Structure 1
Amino acid sequence: MKIFIPLFVSLFSFTISAQDKPVRLVEEKQKKRTILYVKNDTNEDKSVFLKVNPTGYRRSAQRPILKKIPPKSKVQMLILIPLTDTESYYTHTLIVNDTLQAIDVDRSKRLKKGDSL
């Protein structure tokens, strides 16, 4: 009986960690292109930051992408077109936040000539 409890706990924790992430990058390979999507399986809006480092693709995709992903949806982020006769691969960084933060800037207080900081 003492052996079954730790075995059950370890199997239970393995099944929990094996579940998919609620917001993830989805790759769809087609004949001459690879389309990258972000899929949001939660019930809330999520904001994502995606940075792709491609090698062997026609268009440079190194600029970061910031997008709001609605709940229960899949949003296209990037299309990669591989070069011929070249090995193509990429690495990515995906950061998920709950919401985009609005930055409130007070522009009414401007420095005048002669004012010091």
Structure 2
Amino acid sequence: MNGFKLVTALFLFIVAIPLQQPEGVLITVEKGHKKITYYAENVTENDIDLFFKVNSTGFRRSADRPMIETIPAKTKKALITLIPLKGKDTTHTYIAVVTKKENNIELRKTDTIIKDVMRIDPRKKKN
């Protein structure tokens, strides 16, 4: 029975891998001697923005902070490098979402904010 579960899990894993790829970007994971590096390759003719977050345990640096990267057209860019801790079990999964340029949120400085700071000298007493 365990063999059947293993074959089923392997089949689902192989089927699910293409479903994780966001449109226009190919995410690859390269395992080095003592590191794991995530790469994003833009396969389109336009620049795209990529929201990317890695959920990981057992690594030296926490990769749980999300990032937004602009990937130029037809280029490959390193996103994050994970370095495993000695003697620890490691797991890592990622979330990648492609945002289109017309949907980007632009921050504009439209109003001037004036902040009044009132300083109180503790040596002077109010009468």
Supply the AA of the counterpart residue of 1:101: I
Query: In 1, distance between residues paired with 2:108 and 2:33?
Result: 45
Trace 1:29-44 onto structure 2 (pairs within 5 A): 29-44=31-46
The equivalent residue for 1:67 is 69
Q: Which has more helix, going by share of residues?
A: 2
Which letter maps to 2:41?
K
Structure 1 unaligned segments of length 5 or more: list them: 1-16
Equivalent residues in 2 for 1:1-117 (5 A)? 21-99=23-101, 100-108=104-112, 110=113
Number of residue pairs aligned between Structure 1 and Structure 2: 95
- In structure 2, runs of 5+ residues without a counterpart are 1-17, 117-127
- Residue identity over aligned pairs, in percent, reads 33
**Quick one: distance in 2 between partners of 1:106 and 1:83?**
47
Q: Deviations over 1:78-102 (max 9, x none)?
A: 0000111122111111010122432
Tell me: CA distance 1:104–1:32, structure 2 relative to 1, closer, same or farther (3 Å): same
Q: TM-score, normalised by structure 1?
A: 0.70
RMSD between aligned residues: 2.3
Shift, 1:61, TM fit: 1.0
